[in-house]
Structure 1
């Protein structure tokens, strides 16, 4: 069996990446049991000191297990209207100093960042991150296709969980995913759990952008664990018996309980050739990271 590479994963096995070293390693092991051999550990938007602390924990875990490739900062530079399961109080504008502080604190382990390109200073921030060797993803945004295209010209090369927390595709405004489909430099993350994106649309994406679809789990602590209440950053998430994860008291999706082996099967059941689904969880995410 191929070892999968998950470039967007918040945790599993009852633990979130970045909370504790031991918990981070348990979460890694939970996904490894489902075929994921390498992971980029994702952090949600939190106060700067908590983000820095989380990166420090992940750095220590990386010293114990090199299959953690680094950190994905899913925020704090995202749009309040598309925040999803992120703490509104933690969001901020991507000013030069704010970006520089995160790059410096990461000291080489920040591999990916999600940015809403319509925010003030975002275009300059994209260039700043790219210059530091960080993959920039467009996501959690209200950006239209034109703004997204400008982000790609500045160096963004990925869409964070396509169709979720962003505009969709309609007749006269094709949104971020539509802009990405037309640009062969750009990859598109998909959460293939059958919940976040309709399976028939997943199959359509594979046909429309061959070699550019990246399967991700966006898994939170409840993946490979039991239903119940879990923390996600500063928020609580309720996980139902059928695997749906919602911000407590709402119907806002809060990551997933997906594992990569299940994502492959959802794609295959939707009509995606198995070899293409496996590539979207192996060689394609490696290309995103330049590996």
Structure 2
């Protein structure tokens, strides 16, 4: 019996396509390496995100993303962040002189506001994105302080006023001690007299009067007990007032630092929002002039 031949699988070669894709990846990594060696941070930013670079620096919006290539260096972002952070922080020391940075781990830069005591931790600096990532609560506090200062108020004015008023109320409880003592003496005398007159067969009116006297004595005892706690409460409130006042002072320092550098808070916000294009654009301008 004659055997039927099996059909053979015929696969076309894709070696040229594969080789081209591999070469593209190798070229990308070589370009990154060359830029790092040359200290050409501008090229690194373009290689990390060509679409963002073209949009922000060249004002071109039709560039396709190079993310498929950029993923090749995702596992070395910490090293790249540290590398890029060096020149970036030098630049920021001139443009945002009131910010201070601390690299708490490789490529991670904590952001602080000011060189004064109790300076605030204000967020982090992301050198890869050339971006400040502010702590929302701290930034909103500064923003609110700026808004209030336009009306001659401080951030903690109201809470300081309320706490001060609370202290005045507490102090009044202490100041009225002699008055309470005199009233207690009088009430006890009235109660004793009422009980002597009423005896076992006191009328209903006398009984109700004694209950009123006893209730008032309870109120005086409660006020006395509260007065014992007043010094500690006032001390606690004074500590809070001091902390609020310190915070207001820090916020004033921050606002003054911003206005001394930028003129207005709005100008500061604009500078923050355009940090990438301003910084990377300055690198591109320096490259065109023959620098790196």
How would you bin the TM-score normalised by the shorter chain?
under 0.3
The TM-score with structure 2 as length reference comes to 0.21
Higher strand share: 1
* Structure number with larger C-alpha Rg: 2
With normalisation by structure 1, the TM-score equals 0.21
